[in-house]
Amino acid sequence: MKIKIFKGDITKLKTDAIVNAANRSLLGGGGVDGAIHRAAGPELLKECRTLNGCSTGEAKITKAYNLACKHVIHTVGPVWSGGNYDEDQLLKSCYKESIKLAEKYKLQSIAFPNISTGVYRYPKEEAAEIAIKTVRKQLAKCKHLKELVFCVFDDENFKLYNELL
Ligand code: ADP
């Protein structure tokens, strides 16, 4: 089992699945969500409309259309509200449920963005600690997944993931 760091745009990755840090509507937004929808093309939004949204901490899978990967796993991270609103459990659940879904579809590789650390303002160090701890624990239970990529976009996350891994 390999855990890698890639710095750059997640839409360029050719892993079996890339994870989208979506919002509960699943109808697109800014940040990584906007980039994924732009690169996948309008068919992605069409499929997302059939899913009836997604709760915070849960995950849903779609095809990837014009993207280089095969599937997009959409998960909804918590908005940071100071730390007393189960943000840590919800963030943990995003990573766990996304990996469970990838495993259910027998996928061999998956790439994650730094969920909730953009517009949703989750403190980056705490988010990175949760992400790494959760994926390690969950990957130990997987039969199909062989590779996991943390796709970092900014220098701060790049530094954090390098240190923590
Ligand atoms: P959230 O609402 O969950 O905070 P954002 O999209 O605002 O979602 O940010 C999540 C993370 O994704 C941030 O660390 C941001 O820098 C990063 N990000 C933004 N665009 C991309 C992209 N094209 N590829 C990978 N990561 C990205």
Q: Tell me the pTM.
A: 0.98
pLDDT-based confidence at residue 115 (cuts at 50, 70, 90): very high
* Ligand 1 pocket mutation, candidates 5, 6, 32, 94, criterion most atoms within 8 A of CB: 32
Distance between Cα 61 and ligand 1 center (Å): 18
Q: What is the model's pLDDT at position 1?
A: 82
pLDDT at 97 over 90: yes
Q: How many domains does the chain have?
A: 1
End-to-end CA, the chain: 14
Distance between Cα 150 and ligand 1 center (Å): 12
For residue 12, the domain's CATH number is: 3.40.220.10
Digit-coded pLDDT (tens) for 30-75: 999 999 999 999 999 999 999 999 999 999 999 999 999 999 999 9
Q: 30 to each of 20, 26, 36, 83, 105, how far by Cα in Å?
A: 11, 12, 10, 23, 28
Interface predicted TM-score of the whole assembly (ipTM), two decimals: 0.98
Q: What's the rounded Cα separation, in Å, for the pair 58 and 103?
A: 15
Distance between Cα 109 and ligand 1 center (Å): 20
- What kind and span of H or E run contains 43? helix 42-49
**118 lies in which domain range?**
2-164
Q: What is the model's pLDDT at position 153?
A: 98
Does the C-beta of 9 come closer than 6 Å to ligand 1?
Answer: yes
